[in-house]
Structure 1
Amino acid sequence: MPEHDRATLGGLCNSGAAKMSAVWRFFRVSEQDIKHAVCNTCSANVLRGGSKVRNFNTTNLITHLKAHHPDKYTEYMTVKEETRTAPRTPAKPAASQPIDELLQKSKKFDRNSPKATAITAKVMEFIALDDQPFSVVEDIGFRRLVEHLEPRYTIPSRRYFSDVALPELHSLVETRVHKLINDNVTGISLTTDIWTSDVSPVSILSLTAQWIDNNFELQKAVLHAKECSGSHTSSALSMAFENMFETWKISKENIHVVLRDNARNIAKAMVECGVPSLPCMAHTLQLAVHDGVFSQRSISDVVAVSRRIVGHFKHSHLASSRLKTIQTEVGLQPKVLQQDVSTRWNSTFYMLQTLLEQKRAIGAYAADFELPATLTASQWSLIENIVTLLAPFEQLTREICQADALASNVIPSVNALKRLLSKSARSDFGVKTSKNALLEAVNTRFSDIYTEPLYCVATMVDPRYKDRYFAAEVKLQAHEMLQSEMEKASSERSEQTSELQERPREKRARTDDQATCSLFDMYDEILEETLTPQENTQTTTEVQGFLSEAPVARTESPLQYWNNNKSRFPTIAKVAKKFLSAPSTSVDSERLFSATSNVINEKRNRIACDKAEMLLLVKKNLPLLLKNTD
C-alpha cells in the first residue's frame, strides 16, 4: 500500500477509534504500520489485535496502560466513566444534508475534469517556475500538502508531468510567443551565447529575443536553449541559427541585430548566416580593461598576491573566523573577502575593493597569524589607485547590464569614458602608464562604433542623446544614416513642423581633476558643449524639429518618450521602434544560463536536453502568458 494511502487510512481508523474508546487519548496510529498503535507516553508500538482492519480492538492498548502507566490507566478509567454517564446529544436528522452531496464531496476527481486539470496545470507551473524536479510530486510532504488542500484531487505520476503536462504547457507558451513575435514586429533584436555545464557533458546554445510593441513597451522572450553537440565551428553554428529562425518563422529581414560575444567562430557564423551582429559591450570592456590594466606587470603582481591572501581565508574556516573577530575588534563591519574570477574583470575590481576596505583588519591579522603573502605599503597604495581608475568602468558595466540598457548607450558611454580617462588626477600616481594604456585600449576596441549604423542611428533617435555625442567630423555622417533609415521606414516623406521647446540645462562647474568628477559628470559636460545642434540642410523638417529640442534627462525612459511623441515625429518613431529594440550586451543570454544551471544541476544531471529546454522556455516565457490569463 502506498505511503500516503496508509497514512490516510491510519488517520481514518484513528478518528473512528477515538469515537469508540477513550484509550485513544493516550495512543496514536503508527504511520509505518496501521496494525500498531504508538504510546504517547513511552513511544512503544502495541499491536491492535489483528492483521485486518475489521479485527482491530483496544484490549492490548488498555493492558499496556495498566501494566506500564498506572496513572494514565486511572485517567483513562475516569474519562471512560464520565463518557458512559454523560447524557447523549441527539444526532441531527440525516435529511439535514442530502446523501448525494455527502457522496459528491468524498468522491475523487476524474483526471480529465476541469478542476483536476486546473490543479495539475498549477503544479506544472510550480515545477517550472521554481526549478523543482519532477520527483517533487512523489515527495510525502508535498503529497500531504495537496491532500490537505484538496482531498478529492489525485496527483499524477512524475512521468505524467514530464511527458504530458510539460509539453502541453510548453505548447501554450510557445503559441503565445509566436503570436507576439508575428504581430506587427518589424524589427527584432536577438542575443546568443554558448554555455557548458559543470555537472553534465552538455553545451547549450541560447537565443533570446527583444522587441518593442505598438505601445513602445519592451518585450522579451527566450526562443531557444538548444543542445550544441560536436565542434562549435562557424558552419555548424550557422546551420543551428538557420534552424532556429525557421522554427520561429523569423524572417532575416526582420532581424535588426544579434548581440554576441567576441569569439571569432560565432562572429563568422553570423556573417555566413547573413544577419547583422554586434559584439557585446560588456565583453569588449572586459578585453579593454585586460589590455590596458591587468596586462601591466606591476598590477598583475599585486592581483596575484591579493588572490593568495583572499584564497587563504576562503580555504580555511579557522582563518575566516579569526578575521571576523578582528574585524569586530577594529570597528569594521564583518565582511567576507571576495574571490575573483579571471574571466570577469569586475570581480577582480571587487576583490581589490574589499581588500582595501579590510586593510586594517588584514594588517592586524598578519601581526598575529601567518599569511601566505603580504602587501607592501606601495602595493596598498597601488591597489587604491587601481580601484579609483577602474571605478568608472565598474559603474558603466553595471549600467549597461541592466535589463533596460539599449544599444543607444554605447556611443555616449564610450565618449564619456574617454573624456574621463583623458583628464589628469591626483590618483594617477603609479597608474599613469596603465591609464594611458587603458585609454588607448578603449580607442582601439571601440574604434568602429562611429561608423556602425546600428549604433549611430540608435543614438540619434534616443531622446536622451540625439546628435549631441558625435564629434563634428562624424555628426554629418550620423545625420545621413538617420535620413537613410527614415526613407526606408516611409516611402512618402512628410515634412512636419514641430513646436520647439528648448529647455534650459543646469550649468555645472568644469574641472580637470578626476577626484571630483564621475563618469556621469562627463555626460553633462559633453551636453553643455553642444546645447545648440548644428543645422543640417540635408535633413527633413521632422528631423530638425526633433533634434532642436533639448535632450531629456538620462533618467527618463526613451520608450515612454516615443509613446508620448510618436504622433509628433511619426517617421522617426518608426525608426526608433526598430533601433531601440537592441540591447547593448548579451546579458540576457547569460542570465538564461544562470537559470540553466538551476535546471541542469547535480539533482537533475541526467535530464534530457529537450526537457531542459522546455523547462527553461516555460520558466522564462510563462509571464507573457500569465499576463493575459491571470
Structure 2
Amino acid sequence: MAEGSDSALEIFQPSKRTKSEVWSYFGFYKSAEGNLIEDGHPVCRTCNNNKITAKGDNTSNLLSHLHDQHPLLYSECKSGRLQSGRAAGKPSDATVPSSSTAGIQTLQQAFKRQAAYAPTSKNAQGLTAALSYYIAKDMMPFQIVEKPGFLRLMKVAVTHYKVPSQTLLSKTEIKDLNNQVKADVGKSLAQGTWFAATTDLWTSKSGGGQPYISFTIHYLTPDWQLESNCLELQFFPEDHSAHIIRGFFENMLEEWGINKKDLVCITTDNATNMIKAFEEFPDLWLGCFGHNLNLAISKALKIQG
C-alpha cells in the first residue's frame, strides 16, 4: 500500500489495548471484511505513512517517526497531553489530530520552525539573489561564503537558509546576474544615440601586476540623459600592439551592436600604441586631458629652477 494512497480511509486503534500515548497518532486500516490489518506497519494519522515497522509492543519507530517528521506532535506526545482523552484504548475525536484539520496545521507549523529552506523555494532564491548582488556590488571575494564568521552571522540572521558554496555562486548565480545586467544595459544601448568611447590599458597593483584593458561607452538617451557604462574589463596578456588593441575595440563595438558611424569621439591616453591603434579615426580620436595634464606637471617638476 503506497504512502498516502488511502488518506480517505478511517484509521483504527490496535485490537490489543496499548498504554503508550504514541498510539494516539497511529493505527491500522480495516479489510473489506471489517478486520483490522495489523501487519506490523501502523499508519500515521497525520501523513498516512504506512511504511513504519512496529511489531508487538515496540513503539520506538513510531516515536522516531514523530520526532523526525512531526516534531510538534512528538513534543505533544511526550508531554502526555492526550492521556485524558483516551477511552478504552481509543482516542476521542476531540483529542486525535486529523489529517484535515490539526494535523496539517501542526505539520506546517513544524516545517516553518525547523525545516531548512529548499534551494528552489522563494525564500532561498531571494536570499541567494541578494547574496550574489552583495558579492558583485561590493566586489567581495567568493570565499566569504565559506568563512566561519560569515556563516555564523547567516546562521543567526536566517536560521533556515543554507548558504550556497562559492563554486555554485561563481559558476551559476553570479553568471546569471551578469547576463541579466548585460541584457539590461543592451536594451539601454539600443535606444542610445551619438556614442563616445573610452579605452585604456592598466596594470593591477596586486597579483603580480596583471595587465587589463577596459572599454567604456558614453551616450545620450532619447530624453537627452547622459549615460555611461563600462562594458568590458578584460585580462589582456597579449602584446600591447596597436593591431591587437584595435581588434579588441572593434570586437566590443560588434558585440554590443554599436555602429562605427554613430561614434563621435574616441578617447585614450597619448601612448604611441594607442595613437596608432586609432589613426583610422583622425577626426574622432582625442587624447585624455588628465593624461596630458599629468605629463605636463611631471615635465614641469623636472625643470631646474
C-alpha displacement of 1:149: 2.5
Select the residue among 202, 212, 225 that pairs with 2:233: 225
Q: Number of residue pairs matched?
A: 208
Map 1:230-379 → 2, pairs under 5 A: 230-272=238-280, 276-291=284-299, 293-298=300-305
SS of the equivalent of 1:271 reads: coil
C-alpha displacement of 1:215: 2.5
C-alpha displacement of 1:268: 1.2
SS of the equivalent of 1:109 reads: coil
Select the residue among 140, 143, 147 that pairs with 1:139: 147
C-alpha displacement of 1:257: 0.9
- For the pair 1:198 / 2:198, whether they are aligned, the reply is no
What is the CA–CA distance in structure 1 between the aligned matches of 2:151 and 2:173, rounded to whole Å? 18
What is the CA–CA distance in structure 2 between the aligned matches of 1:189 and 1:114, rounded to whole Å? 42
| Aligned twin of 1:189 | 196
CA contact (8 A) 2:193 2:220 kept: no
C-alpha displacement of 1:211: 1.6
C-alpha displacement of 1:125: 0.8
Relative distance call for 1:180 and 1:219 in structure 2 (3 A) is: same
Relative distance call for 1:141 and 1:97 in structure 2 (3 A) is: farther
Pairwise CA RMSD of aligned residues? 2.6
What is the CA–CA distance in structure 2 between the aligned matches of 1:118 and 1:272, rounded to whole Å? 49
Question: Deviation string for 1:88-136 (max 9, x for gaps)?
Answer: x997998599312223202222212222111111101111112211111
- For the pair 1:178 / 2:186, whether they are aligned, the reply is yes
What is the CA–CA distance in structure 1 between the aligned matches of 2:280 and 2:237, rounded to whole Å? 19
| Aligned twin of 1:357 | none
C-alpha displacement of 1:233: 0.8
- For the pair 1:163 / 2:171, whether they are aligned, the reply is yes
C-alpha displacement of 1:274: 7.9
Q: Which amino acid aligns with 1:158?
A: Q
Select the residue among 109, 115, 121 that pairs with 1:107: 115
Q: Which amino acid aligns with 2:109?
A: L
TM-score, length-normalised on structure 2?
0.62
SS of the equivalent of 1:111 reads: coil
What is the CA–CA distance in structure 2 between the aligned matches of 1:154 and 1:102, rounded to whole Å? 20
| Aligned twin of 1:619 | none
Structure with the larger strand share? 2
Structure 1 stretches lacking a partner, 5+ long: 1-88, 299-630
CA contact (8 A) 2:193 2:222 kept: no
CA contact (8 A) 1:258 1:275 kept: no
What is the CA–CA distance in structure 1 between the aligned matches of 2:238 and 2:158, rounded to whole Å? 48
C-alpha displacement of 1:210: 1.4
Question: Deviation string for 1:523-555 (max 9, x for gaps)?
Answer: xxxxxxxxxxxxxxxxxxxxxxxxxxxxxxxxx
What is the CA–CA distance in structure 1 between the aligned matches of 2:214 and 2:128, rounded to whole Å? 29
Q: Which amino acid aligns with 1:178?
A: G
C-alpha displacement of 1:148: 2.3
CA contact (8 A) 1:241 1:273 kept: no
What is the CA–CA distance in structure 2 between the aligned matches of 1:285 and 1:189, rounded to whole Å? 21
Question: Deviation string for 1:8-32 (max 9, x for gaps)?
Answer: xxxxxxxxxxxxxxxxxxxxxxxxx
C-alpha displacement of 1:295: 3.1
Q: Which amino acid aligns with 1:203?
A: P
What is the CA–CA distance in structure 1 between the aligned matches of 2:283 and 2:155, rounded to whole Å? 53
Structure 2 stretches lacking a partner, 5+ long: 1-78, 83-94
What is the CA–CA distance in structure 1 between the aligned matches of 2:133 and 2:197, rounded to whole Å? 26
CA contact (8 A) 1:193 1:261 kept: yes
CA contact (8 A) 1:235 1:272 kept: no
Relative distance call for 1:191 and 1:149 in structure 2 (3 A) is: same
CA contact (8 A) 2:266 2:285 kept: yes
CA contact (8 A) 1:108 1:154 kept: yes
SS of the equivalent of 2:214 reads: strand
Structure with the larger helix share? 1
| Aligned twin of 1:121 | 129
| Aligned twin of 2:221 | 213
Question: Percent identity over the alignment?
Answer: 28
SS of the equivalent of 2:279 reads: helix
What is the CA–CA distance in structure 2 between the aligned matches of 1:170 and 1:258, rounded to whole Å? 26
TM-score, length-normalised on structure 1?
0.31
C-alpha displacement of 1:216: 2.3
What is the CA–CA distance in structure 1 between the aligned matches of 2:139 and 2:292, rounded to whole Å? 32
Q: Which amino acid aligns with 1:230?
A: E
